[in-house]
Amino acid sequence: MLIQCSPDNRIGIVMENGARKITINSPFGITNKQPKKISEFIGDFFFVRLSSLGDNFMGRIEKLMVSNNIIFIHDDVTDSMFLYDMEGNLITRIKGKGKGPNEYAKIVDFTVDWDRNRIVILDNITRKIILYDFNGHVIGNKKLHLFSDRITYLGNDKYAFYNDYNSAATDNYLLRITDLSQKGVLSFFPWSDEKYLRHKVSKWQYVWDSNNTEMNLVPFYDNNLYGVTKDSVYARYFFDFGRHNLPEDMVLESFRVEPNYVHTIQPIYETDSILAFGYTISGRRQLVFYNKNNGNQLFARETSWLNEPTVTRMFYANDILACYDNYFVAWETPVSVSDFVKYYPDEFGKNERQMLMDDPKYKELANVQVNDNPILVFYKLKSF
């Protein structure tokens, strides 16, 4: 078969060799039922209460990024962007929904260009990209030539455009790397209509630290975790779930019929020493922490945790939204915080109950109101 490409478009080579194998012998976490103390694993942590500053309330955090000491949040309910400093003070809110040239029909995705200090919003409904500065002012817009469902900034003016098997894209590649002019495209992961019938869902996650971003991609039916840079795609990790690996001939509609296969490997985030990843098996979401230094694994949701007079019991097994400066970032609703403050102390005797209620972090949570914005939790793991 001959594949013809214009001079401005090239087919990239995916480097498969060199991936680090991670074997999960028991995806259900059955061998990890021994009781443990959360205090043995959680190190430093702090909360960020997100100010509403008037009527700036959000409904649901669709996506969160942290860069340049700014927290960027896309709220799916109001379809707007919130920018906060690290103290939770609202910097600005972007409400650009409309039909004008610098307005969006929907925020499908966003990314942060940390080199030029700008927010890049993807709207594939009106086929455009809108640029904002960190004060929420419009810089301009670009026409979206490469239909995409996701976008991320890779550095040096390069972006990754990801098409989630959407037939609106005519180039039949899942991943394309280019600049905002969308010329000189480097394309990866071709797909056909036949594969589309089975490959309806894929995973797209971001790994952030304090200075830059590395994009990770795990295609469906492929347990390789690929790193994506401004000019290459390479296998970083391979997840081996043994007999629970998803067969190539398995279709999505049969997941409920055949529940013992691992699928939907997300979220995926990592610090310098810990890789955190989630997946679904038997209709349940798992969250695993993998120590990159010694290979040890910690199943956060399947371990029997001992009750301790500490607030970490509340957030530890939540899905992770981001990484920042070796902290994992999770979130809690104000309702769940209020319930925790109200009921959790009753699980202890008098002395431990008082110890919990005297904890400054517990007192901080006790001030949360049920109509507040979500509370972010930044935490580090100890070595295990």
Of 222 and 22, which is predicted with more confidence? 22
**Is residue 197 scored above 80 in pLDDT?**
no
Q: Is residue 329 part of a domain?
A: yes
Q: What CATH number should be reported for the domain holding residue 205?
A: 2.120.10.30
Q: Is residue 83 part of a domain?
A: yes
Q: Which residue has the tokens 């990801």?
A: 162
User: Which string of DSSP letters, residue by residue, matches 228-251?
Assistant: E-SS-EEEEEEEE-GGGSPPTT--
For the chain, the domain total comes to 1
Q: Tell me the one-letter amino acid at 193.
A: D
Q: Is residue 295 part of a domain?
A: yes
- Give 248's pLDDT tier (boundaries 50, 70, 90): confident
Share of the chain above pLDDT 90, in %: 53
Q: Is residue 7 part of a domain?
A: no
| Domain interval for residue 323 | 19-381
Q: Is residue 1 part of a domain?
A: no
Pair type for strands 42-49 and 20-23: unpaired
Section 147-167 average pLDDT? 87
Q: Is residue 12 part of a domain?
A: no
- Give 90's pLDDT tier (boundaries 50, 70, 90): very high
Q: Which residues contact 176 (CB under 8 A, 6 or more apart)?
A: 146, 148, 160, 161, 162, 163, 185, 186, 187, 188
pLDDT at 110: 95
**Is residue 345 scored above 90 in pLDDT?**
yes
Contact assessment for residue 108 and residue 144, using Cβ atoms and an 8 Å cutoff: no
Q: Is residue 309 part of a domain?
A: yes
pLDDT digits over 371-381, tens only?
999 999 999 99
- Give 3's pLDDT tier (boundaries 50, 70, 90): very low
Section 188-197 average pLDDT? 69
Model confidence, pTM = 0.90
Tell me the pLDDT of the chain averaged across its residues.
85
How many CB atoms are closer than 10 A to CB 152?
25
SS3 category, 214: strand
- The tokens for 26 are 């028991």
- Give 202's pLDDT tier (boundaries 50, 70, 90): very low
Q: Is residue 221 part of a domain?
A: yes
Give CA angle at 174 (158, 320), nearest 5°: 75
274/22 Cα distance (integer angstroms) = 13
Of 158 and 193, which is predicted with more confidence? 158
pLDDT digits over 125-151, tens only?
999 999 999 999 999 999 999 999 889
Section 235-243 average pLDDT? 92
Of 9 and 342, which is predicted with more confidence? 342
Q: What is the 3-state secondary structure (H, E, C) of 22-84?
A: EECCCCCCHHHCCCECHHHCEEEEEEEECCCCCCCCCCCEEEEEEECCEEEEEECCCCEEEEE
* Closest among 227, 213, 209, 201 to 279, alpha carbons compared: 201
Contact assessment for residue 195 and residue 209, using Cβ atoms and an 8 Å cutoff: no
